[in-house]
Structure 1
Amino acid sequence: MGTMPFQRVCGIFVILGACLMSFTPPCDGGNILVFPLDGSHWINMKVLLVELHARGHNLTVIRASNSWYIEEKSPLYTSISLTMEVGMEDFFDVFVMENIRAQREGASSLTIFKLINDFFSMITEAHRLWADALARIFDDENMVKRLHDAKYDLVLTDPAFATGVFLAKYLKLPLVLNVRWITSGEGHFAIAPSPLSYIPAPGSGLTDKMNFIQRVKNILFQSVVEYQQRVLVGPKYNTLCDKYIEGECNVMSLLQEADIWLFRSDFVFDFPRPTMPNVVYIGGFQCKPAQPLPADLEEFVQSAGEHGVIIMTLGTLVNALPEDLADEIASVFAKMPQKVIWKHKGKQPSTLGNNTLIVDWMPQKDLLGHPQTKAFVAHGGTNGVQEAIYHGVPVLGIPLFFDQFDNLLRLQERGARKILELAHTNRRSFEQAINEVLHQDSYRQNIQRMSRLHRDQPIAPMDQAVFWVEYVIRHKGAPHLRTEAYKMPWYSYYSLDVLLVLMTAATVLLLSTFAVFRFLCCRQRRKSKTKQH
């Protein structure tokens, strides 16, 4: 065979290169301003930022200088740090421990009222702190110039605090929400029709099947949410509206102006309900196939043999349970044939068995995806619940506060988990519950069915999220997907004005008809009397 001519070789490489380029999606990197929330909310926001960075987008993250989780320096983003009076971690620590103590001791009505009041005070103060921090940005001419000169394409924010929403409005930028919770309550209630006859209010502990008494309870719980928004939270942002935003505004109207809602839920997990065209469901977007475990952890997991492994964690806010309760749980684990990996930062339980490994941190996703994992003892945070669904691992839930009971209730309704309330958690109840989850096949079968449903999607949730962020960048917003309902007064939204006019017209017509008939009858009677005379 002769040597192939140089020109022909070059031609082949050019054709191959062109073919490869044709299969690579075009990527025009956008300039995105990110205003996240700290704690577990940052964990799933960061997952999205990793993907956006990998696709060539330039990211700027606004964070507190004393941030709990959000690092100042990162290869993913440039940061802007704001000075805060107090760290968010300090904010929650006292409340968390008081809440756990009250639940265990069977709190009186007075104690429960005090806890609710403390919670409202804590949340209200947190909103005030962030509203004040944002006001300092708006008052800083150099910072405002820096933000304008950066020519951002959009703002991506978690609206559990409204600061990012106000910043987008002030800078006149498109807005994308990475959302499940808003400033008060669950996001759907701000944007979509939400009939309380079958849509449970946050914190109600109800399902979508309610009797009369439960519907009364549901309305009362939603009234508390409305009170929190209108009386406690909303006023903390009113100064921003009055001083910095053109035209009238409030938190809810600005939320309703958002272009896209990337909603961290789906209807495998949540109850069916009305929605809107600019709501994109990305539940489980942070979930991926399990990666190999570190060698020492893999060795521990494999040493469990056919009995498998139980993993336990109570999330980012709870470092440790009270010592006596930790001892009781450890004693139950010590008797079991399974191996246990337990995220616990407190004092090591005195009853700890040789089969239990205490860790400060665990690769939760990779452990849930390991074939040896048989059960997940968890607090019921959204991330953990969705990861359990993705990997098909049954859950023993010990809800502590916030949305955790509601999350676990959704799994319970589908037969995929068991709830053990903290007030009733002791050695006996914990042992009975964990054995039920391990040995009753229905729990594993039901959550594996949920896993199959969740995975059976035409487009992966992460790809959906990135597509819609880039969609907003390409089209400089998505106003055609937004409803105009938020611009209507409440009486027009519910057509009460139309109903009033129609009822008035019908009443006038009815009275007029009655008057005509009465007039004719009276006239006829008068004629009859005249003839008789």
Structure 2
Amino acid sequence: MAINGGIPLVLACCIWLLPNGCDSSSRILVVPLDGSHWVNMEIILKELHSRGHNLTVMLSAKSWYIPVKSPFYTSIVMKSLEDDIDLTFYDDMLKRNLKYRKMGSFLSFIFQQWDLTSMFAMGHGILSKAAAEIFDDQVFMAQLRDAKYDLVLTDPGLPIGVLFAHYLNLPMVFNVRWINIGDSHFTFAPSPVSYIPLTLTGLSDRMNFQQRIVNMIYYIISVLQQHLVLDPPYRELLERHFPPGSSMLSMQHAADIWLLRADFVFEFPRPTMPNVVYVGGFQCKPSKPLSAELEEFVQGSGEHGLIVMSLGTLISSLPQEITEAIAAAFAELPQRVVWRYIGVRPSTLGNNTLLVEWFPQNDLLGHPKTKAFVAHGGTNGMYEAVYHGIPVLGLPLLFDQYDNVLRLQVRGAARVVEVATLTKDEFLDALRDILENPSYRNNMQRLSRLHRDRSMSPMDSAIFWIEYVIRHKGAPHLRTEAYKLPWYSYHSLDVAALLLVLIGTSLWVSFTVCRILCCKFSSKKKQKQN
């Protein structure tokens, strides 16, 4: 979910605000998230830089993956608090999560929601305090304003970029998939929970009555998290530095363009809005040749082919007993395996498995000998698998990962196994099913053809709309006025209440008139009888 990024924090250590490139190009302030989110943002920034735009990136001094020095952007480096989240946080969270998943479904739900809510509260508490110190630094904020940027490009998974855009009164473009507590669609578009599953539910868009109850419960929880956990830490900051009535939701609604990292080849169909541009898979590209050493290993797989395995950027390794089971299963296969792995070497590792700390994932997935992708279900990896037509065996760990793999499983292009209780035999059976059943590969290749069949590439769409907002100094004509309505007006509850009153009044008047007429008629009848 949204927290898997570094948090830009507290005071400016150093700031380079002079642009590179031609004077006529636009100046863009970029506020990214770390981790896998940065992988996407960096690709867009390189393309913007190649087109002559001047980029300034705000990053944390404790950033995991965002470099301070770069040939295509300048930097504003922020100090970090001592209790800033580091990568070990997610390893510990995974251990707790796997323990919860071994419990019954109800207890698992309670503990996972509590853990997630606690994480939200801690992360936004840290960020809000840091943001308050930044905004209280009048010299720094004056320097930022004097830089006269044309646009803020940000990932709103954490909202500090949104705060900067509104404070500087600049047009705002989101590079987004998740926002605060879940799928960003629930923020910008009508999202009926009768057929749109919430993140973490593990549901598809075809729900029975019981599943719709579960989906509604998750929705209510998400609303409570927004108003009781996420909003309160920022209220004092908003009162001091922003106009009365400002809220995080209203600021997010004001984004000119949402570059949404999604594609309906992958997502379930749902309502959308005119200022949303779907750029899912924009990071995907044709594979490049492998290094000589890696190519030699891959070619050694012969007719059996290659399996690629990665657990992404956040989790360093699985618990040892699960790792041993996976390694033992790989050892019984005729295929060769390239496994991105950090940790103690499994004792059950076979000669057919190569452990590496890093590999060119896109190039391996695009290699003609690759037969399957064993993955945690991160969005980037899923889109690369779709792009290259490689079926997936999902080992979802945290956040949205189960929901991502589920979308491919529903389409017959993937299979999901439960990591918490995984055994060697279960993993081996699932992997053999993926390798030997041609329907998985056929379905994934069909998705690949659909995904590639576009009038404009996702990257070209992203750059066009960023430059569109710069050219027109915003795109307010694409934003709906629905965001300004109170909730009761949005759902027409005030209209319904008035209609109910009118109908009730009409019925009461009609009943009263009829009663009076009946009484008069009865009275006259009695008089005649007498």
The TM-score, its normalising length taken from structure 1, stands at 0.92
Matching residue within 133, 140, 162 for 1:165: 162
Q: 1:352 — aligned with what?
A: 349
Q: Is the 8 A contact 1:103 1:422 kept in 2?
A: no
Cα distance, 1:515 vs structure 2: 2.3
Q: 1:518 — aligned with what?
A: 515
- Within the alignment, does 1:385 sit opposite 2:382 as a pair? yes
**Among the aligned pairs, what percent are the same residue?**
54
- Within the alignment, does 1:78 sit opposite 2:77 as a pair? no
Q: 1:254 — aligned with what?
A: 251
Stretch deviating more after TM superposition (105-114 or 462-471):
105-114
Q: 1:374 — aligned with what?
A: 371
Secondary structure of 2:57's partner? strand
Matched residues in 1 for 2:180 and 2:315: separation?
Answer: 22
Cα distance, 1:401 vs structure 2: 1.1
Matched residues in 2 for 1:125 and 1:138: separation?
Answer: 20
Cα distance, 1:100 vs structure 2: 5.5
- Within the alignment, does 1:269 sit opposite 2:241 as a pair? no
> Residue type matched to 1:74 in 2?
S
> Residue type matched to 2:346 in 1?
P
Matched residues in 1 for 2:91 and 2:405: separation?
Answer: 24
Q: Is the 8 A contact 2:87 2:315 kept in 1?
A: no
Matching residue within 315, 339, 342 for 1:342: 339
Q: 1:199 — aligned with what?
A: 196
Cα distance, 1:246 vs structure 2: 1.1
Q: 2:456 — aligned with what?
A: 459
Matching residue within 182, 185, 188 for 1:188: 185
Matched residues in 2 for 1:156 and 1:141: separation?
Answer: 23
Cα distance, 1:225 vs structure 2: 1.3
Cα distance, 1:104 vs structure 2: 7.4
Cα distance, 1:525 vs structure 2: 3.3
Matched residues in 2 for 1:530 and 1:321: separation?
Answer: 95
- Within the alignment, does 1:214 sit opposite 2:229 as a pair? no
Q: Is the 8 A contact 2:98 2:419 kept in 1?
A: no
> Residue type matched to 1:54 in 2?
S
Stretch deviating more after TM superposition (184-193 or 101-110):
101-110
Stretch deviating more after TM superposition (451-460 or 134-143):
134-143
Counterparts in 2 of 1:116 and 1:492: CA distance versus 1, 3 Å: closer
Cα distance, 1:222 vs structure 2: 1.2
> Residue type matched to 2:500 in 1?
M
Aligned alpha-carbon RMSD (Å) = 1.9
Q: 1:421 — aligned with what?
A: 418
Q: Is the 8 A contact 2:100 2:111 kept in 1?
A: no
- Within the alignment, does 1:65 sit opposite 2:61 as a pair? yes
Cα distance, 1:521 vs structure 2: 3.0
Counterparts in 2 of 1:188 and 1:341: CA distance versus 1, 3 Å: same
CA deviation vs aligned residue, 1:262-302 (integer Å, no higher than 9, x gap): 11111100100111111110110110111111121111111
Matched residues in 2 for 1:255 and 1:300: separation?
Answer: 48
Secondary structure of 1:46's partner? helix
Secondary structure of 1:88's partner? coil
Q: Is the 8 A contact 2:327 2:346 kept in 1?
A: yes
Q: Is the 8 A contact 1:96 1:318 kept in 2?
A: no
Cα distance, 1:333 vs structure 2: 1.5
Matched residues in 1 for 2:412 and 2:505: separation?
Answer: 57
Counterparts of residues 50-199 of structure 1 (less than 5 Å): 50-85=46-81, 86-90=83-87, 92-99=89-96, 101-102=98-99, 106=103, 113-199=110-196
Matched residues in 2 for 1:355 and 1:416: separation?
Answer: 25
- Within the alignment, does 1:310 sit opposite 2:302 as a pair? no
Matched residues in 2 for 1:387 and 1:89: separation?
Answer: 27
Secondary structure of 2:76's partner? strand
Q: Which runs of 5+ in 1 are unaligned?
A: 1-25
Number of equivalences: 508
> Residue type matched to 1:365 in 2?
N
Cα distance, 1:424 vs structure 2: 3.0
- Within the alignment, does 1:41 sit opposite 2:37 as a pair? yes
Q: 1:290 — aligned with what?
A: 287
Counterparts in 2 of 1:115 and 1:330: CA distance versus 1, 3 Å: same
Stretch deviating more after TM superposition (398-407 or 121-130):
121-130
Counterparts in 2 of 1:521 and 1:423: CA distance versus 1, 3 Å: same
CA deviation vs aligned residue, 1:126-149 (integer Å, no higher than 9, x gap): 112222222222111221111111
CA deviation vs aligned residue, 1:87-146 (integer Å, no higher than 9, x gap): 432462353342365167558976764454333222221112222222222111221111
> Residue type matched to 2:328 in 1?
S
Q: Is the 8 A contact 2:100 2:108 kept in 1?
A: no
Cα distance, 1:321 vs structure 2: 1.9
Matching residue within 469, 472, 493 for 1:472: 469
Matched residues in 2 for 1:450 and 1:388: separation?
Answer: 10
Q: Is the 8 A contact 2:287 2:362 kept in 1?
A: yes
Structure possessing the higher radius of gyration over alpha carbons: 1
Secondary structure of 1:471's partner? helix
Cα distance, 1:202 vs structure 2: 1.2
Matched residues in 1 for 2:292 and 2:153: separation?
Answer: 38
Cα distance, 1:376 vs structure 2: 0.3
Secondary structure of 1:424's partner? coil
Counterparts in 2 of 1:303 and 1:94: CA distance versus 1, 3 Å: closer
Matched residues in 2 for 1:530 and 1:381: separation?
Answer: 87
Q: 2:428 — aligned with what?
A: 431
Matched residues in 1 for 2:366 and 2:288: separation?
Answer: 8
Q: 2:18 — aligned with what?
A: none
Q: Is the 8 A contact 1:84 1:129 kept in 2?
A: no
CA deviation vs aligned residue, 1:175-204 (integer Å, no higher than 9, x gap): 111111111111010111111110001111
Counterparts in 2 of 1:112 and 1:207: CA distance versus 1, 3 Å: closer
Matched residues in 2 for 1:445 and 1:239: separation?
Answer: 55
CA deviation vs aligned residue, 1:228-265 (integer Å, no higher than 9, x gap): 21111111111221111112122111111111111111
Cα distance, 1:208 vs structure 2: 0.6
Whichever structure has more helix as a proportion of its residues is: 1
Matching residue within 223, 235, 239 for 1:226: 223
CA deviation vs aligned residue, 1:158-191 (integer Å, no higher than 9, x gap): 1111111111111111111111111111101011
> Residue type matched to 1:526 in 2?
S
Q: Is the 8 A contact 1:27 1:55 kept in 2?
A: no
Matched residues in 2 for 1:325 and 1:526: separation?
Answer: 89
Counterparts in 2 of 1:311 and 1:196: CA distance versus 1, 3 Å: same
The TM-score, its normalising length taken from structure 2, stands at 0.92
